[in-house]
Structure 1
Amino acid sequence: MIKLVLADDHRLMQDGLKSRLEREDNLNILACVGTGNEAFESTLALKPDVLLLDINMPNLNGIEVLEKLSGSKSDTAVIMLSMHDSRDYVVRSVKAGAKGYVLKDVGSEELVMAINQVAQGRSYLCPQASDRLLEQINDVPDQPRDDNLSKRECDVLKAIVSGACNREIADTLHISVRTVETHRLRIKKKLGATSTAMLVKLALDKGLVH
């Protein structure tokens, strides 16, 4: 059995991960936590084989947690689970001791594969993270952020601007709530928004919706 601790400050993401990973016969989830301090303390106390760690966490961010764990000589392998594929986050995570880096929009099968691989003492980087690491090694300049939205992302954005909640958007577009959340994260990243209010303002300013 691979013992896991899940650390993410979004309860919905926590619940979704827990529900999916519990279906794997060889995975045992010891705890789900929502702050950086809880992630650090739970890892030291429970000694999981793998810690799934979000970067954006209250108290301590994921990279700070990772650095503290490295300093404590923890044997737990850490997989950074993030919406960010920027070179800075990937490189800092790897330098701080992360054994894996996976984006939140990957399929669940890839995440399970990453957990199993890291638990066996190997490393796993999703393709986007691998690209960022290679860019750093080859000193390739960061690419400008792509503001182009797909048709489905435009549909989701229009619904967000209209004030619809994730469940309403999912029902209207006949997709899952989890898929809506993934689109929302991608849209925020593409537009450089850090909140829904900022996302709405940018969408109107850019003329993406009327």
Structure 2
Amino acid sequence: MIKIAIADDHAIIRAGLAQIISETPDMRVVAEARSGDEAQDIILDAEWDVFILDISMPGKNVLDLIRIAKKQLPNRALLVLSSYPEEQYALRMLRAGADAYLTKADAPEKLIAAIRNISEGGKLTNPELTKKLFAEHITNPDYPPHHTLTDREFQVFCAISIGKRINDIAEEMALSSKTISTYRIRLLKKLKATTNADIVEYAMEFGLLD
């Protein structure tokens, strides 16, 4: 039996995933989380084989959750589920340690196949896409600047783009406000931006917001 945990801040998504999984005899949902903080508790305290993580939830950032899970439980599998297309986030999630990246537009059959695959130690990626993204990241000077952000800078970028304040971001990331401000300065420079409004505009331009 494959034991699955689900983290998504939308109840209807959690219910839909649970329904799909319940129709598969050798899989069952053992835990659900509504936020990144609840997901962290489940990662550390519950028995699960595959964790389905929404890419954007309140609380603990998904990149931090991936790092925590892979450090503490390297043999368990992580599937990131996103409303964003692969080209926006897949490479960053896979580099962080996720075993699979699917979009919410993918068919239920693909989700079940992915769960089964990664529970057995496999990886579910689009090899051609990953190869293309990596090559463009290395060789193309016109590649979108947000791909040059470090994971921490990217986390701060995402938080600012949805209107979070420096102090709130610092609390969520368990860092000082001064450190968050430093990340902000760095990412502004990389994006050739000057204000938080510029960050929001950039995120909208590249389809990085829901």
TM-score norm. by structure 2 comes to 0.63
Tell me which residue corresponds to 2:130. 133
| 1:62 to partner: Cα distance | 1.5
* Aligned equivalent of 2:100: 100
Give the letter aligned to residue 27 of structure 1: M
The answer to whether the 8 A contact 1:43-1:76 is kept is: no
1:63-117 deviation digits (Å, cap 9, x = unpaired): 2211222232443200001112254521221111111111110000010000000
Residues 70 and 96 of structure 1 are in contact (CA less than 8 Å); yes or no, is this contact kept in structure 2? Answer: no
- Rounded to whole Å, the distance in 2 between the matches of 1:116 and 1:65 is 21
Distance 1:190 1:108 in 2: 30
Q: CA deviation at 1:192?
A: 4.1
Q: Which residue of 1 aligns with 2:35?
A: 35
Q: Is the 8 A contact 2:80 2:102 kept in 1?
A: yes
TM-score relative to the length of structure 1: 0.63
User: Contact 1:3–1:29 at 8 Å: present in 2 too?
Assistant: yes
* Counterparts of 1:108 and 1:122, CA distance in 2: 19
Change (3 A) 1:110 1:69: same
**How many angstroms does 1:10 deviate by?**
0.7
Once the two structures are overlaid, the 10-residue window that deviates more, 108-117 or 74-83, is: 74-83
Matched residue, 1:75: 75
How many Å separate the matches in 2 of 1:59 and 1:42? 14
| Counterpart residue type for residue 66 of structure 1 | I
1:64, 1:45 → 2: CA distance? 16
Please give the residue correspondences for 1:1-210 in structure 2 after superposition, counting only pairs within 5 Å: 1-87=1-87, 89-125=89-125, 127=126, 130-139=127-136, 192=207, 194=209
CA RMSD of aligned residues (A): 2.4
Which amino acid letter does the alignment assign opposite residue 38 of structure 2? E
Q: Distance in 2 between matches of 1:70 and 1:18?
A: 24
Unaligned runs of 5+ in 2: 145-203
Deviation at 1:6, TM superposition (A): 0.6
Q: Deviations over 1:28-72 (max 9, x none)?
A: 110111111111211221131100001101111222211222232
Q: Is the 8 A contact 2:63 2:96 kept in 1?
A: yes
Once the 2 structures are TM-superposed, how far is the Cα of residue 142 of structure 1 from its aligned partner? 5.3
Give me the whole-angstrom Cα distance separating, in 2, the residues matched to 1:96 and 1:192.
Answer: 21
Secondary structure of 1:124's match?
A: coil
Give the Cα–Cα distance (whole angstroms) in 1 for the partners of residues 6 and 54 of structure 2. 9
1:99–1:122 Cα contact (<8 Å) kept:
yes
Q: Is the 8 A contact 1:55 1:62 kept in 2?
A: yes
Q: Distance in 2 between matches of 1:101 and 1:132?
A: 12
Structure 1 spans left out of the alignment, 5+ residues: 144-188, 196-210
